[in-house]
Amino acid sequence: MIVDIKAKILENRFISGKTWLMRLEAPGIAKYSKPAQFIMVKPTTEESFDPLLRRAFAIADVVGDEVVLYYDIHGRGTKVLSERKSGEYIDVLGPLGKQLFPEDYNSYILVGGGIGFAGLSFLMKYLREKGKKFVSLYGARTKEDLSMIEWIKENGFDVIYYTDDGSFGRKGLITQDLESIIEENPGSALAVCGPTPMMKAVAKIAKQKNVPCYLSLETKMACGIGICIGCVVKDIQSDNYVRVCYEGPVFEASEIEF
Ligand SMILES: Cc1cc2nc3c(=O)[nH]c(=O)nc-3n(C[C@H](O)[C@H](O)[C@H](O)COP(=O)(O)OP(=O)(O)OC[C@H]3O[C@@H](n4cnc5c(N)ncnc54)[C@H](O)[C@@H]3O)c2cc1C
Ligand code: FES
């Protein structure tokens, strides 16, 4: 069920790099949220319409009645969002997204790049609850950009980290060991979220190794509910366009052009 609510901001604090954490009291959303779903958040207060449009954020975690977001400051919307204070109320629409990660695999390899890891963290909790096997990879430019380390430790997960500069975990790209990790985990499906070049690289390896690869796409969105047609990608089979917000956000990599 999708609700359009004013959620109370419980916490909004800087984490590291350019990432902030926001905790929202949103029982109506928390209750129905599933991994890979997202919410559309109006960054401004009631009185202001600059910027006008809501911004999309992955549901990084759900704790009781709370919805947790991790967001990077990119432009005006996320800057304004970072200025919102605990105790204020904020317009939120969600949970959104229909096509999610398939549940019929016994084993998964999660690949999250940068803030894209926030699109997989809730899935980790879900898979653990379901007793499924999974390996998680988390890569970023530097340690500062691995902003969910604290969350990962608090929740007791084992993750293989990569940084471009070697400041934390293995030095190099998140894709560097992927072929061998796929071989070590036969029958696994890949669940991926991150920057487009990383997702393309992962999809290429998945194709070579002939393993299913599910991408949680984060194309730019204006409405988030299927109306504006601003978020489309091409569906290869039908040669038609599909809306990431409505038909997605998760697609099998071989089925779309992105
Ligand atoms: C389904 C979905 C889930 C998302 N989840 C998260 C999340 O959990 N955490 C997070 O930090 N961000 C997430 N994003 C991206 C987030 O929506 C954008 O970063 C945000 O809208 C930027 O708003 P802005 O006003 O700050 O930037 P704008 O002023 O709108 O743009 C500033 C810069 O950010 C870039 N940008 C805008 N939208 C996106 C986008 N969708 N993807 C990548 N770059 C973008 C622009 O190209 C521009 O360079 C998600 C996007 C989608 C569609
Ligand atoms: S964001 Fe408007 S149709 Fe997807």
pLDDT, one tens digit for every residue, the chain (258 residues): 999 999 999 999 999 999 999 999 999 999 999 999 999 999 998 788 889 999 999 999 999 999 999 999 999 999 999 999 999 999 999 999 999 999 999 999 999 999 999 999 999 999 999 999 999 999 999 999 999 999 999 999 999 999 999 999 999 999 999 999 999 999 999 999 999 999 999 999 999 999 999 999 999 999 999 999 999 999 998 999 999 999 999 999 999 998
| Residue 202 to residue 18: CA distance in whole angstroms | 25
Residue 186 near ligand 1, beta carbon < 6 Å: no
Full-model pTM: 0.97
CA distance 149 to 55: 24
CA distance linking residue 199 with residue 179, whole number of Å? 15
Counting atoms of ligand 2 from 1, which one is nearest the CA of 56? 1
Q: Measured from the CA of 245, which atom of ligand 2 is nearest?
A: 4
**Number of the ligand 1 atom closest to the C-alpha atom of 72:** 11
**pLDDT value, residue 47:** 80
What is the per-residue pLDDT for 48?
82
- What pLDDT sits at residue 156? 98
Ordered by start, the domain boundaries in the chain are 3-96, 107-216
Tell me, using a 6 A CB cutoff, whether residue 84 lines ligand 1.
no
- Name the residue among 205, 181, 194 with its Cα closest to residue 109: 181
User: In the CATH hierarchy, which fold is given to the domain comprising 107-216?
Assistant: Rossmann fold (3.40.50)
What is the dihedral sign for C-alpha 223, 226, 228, 230? Answer: positive
Superfamily of domain 3-96 in the CATH hierarchy: Translation factors (2.40.30.10)
Task: Decide whether any atom of ligand 1 lies within 6 Å of the 74 Cβ.
Answer: yes
Whole-number pLDDT of residue 160: 98
For residue 45, the model assigns a pLDDT of 85
Cα–Cα distance measured from residue 110 to residue 125, given in angstroms and rounded to the nearest whole number: 12
- What is the pLDDT at residue 195? 97
User: Which ligand ends up closest to the CA of 19?
Assistant: 1
Ligand 1 pocket, mutate which of 216, 220, 223, 231 (most atoms under 8 A from CB): 220
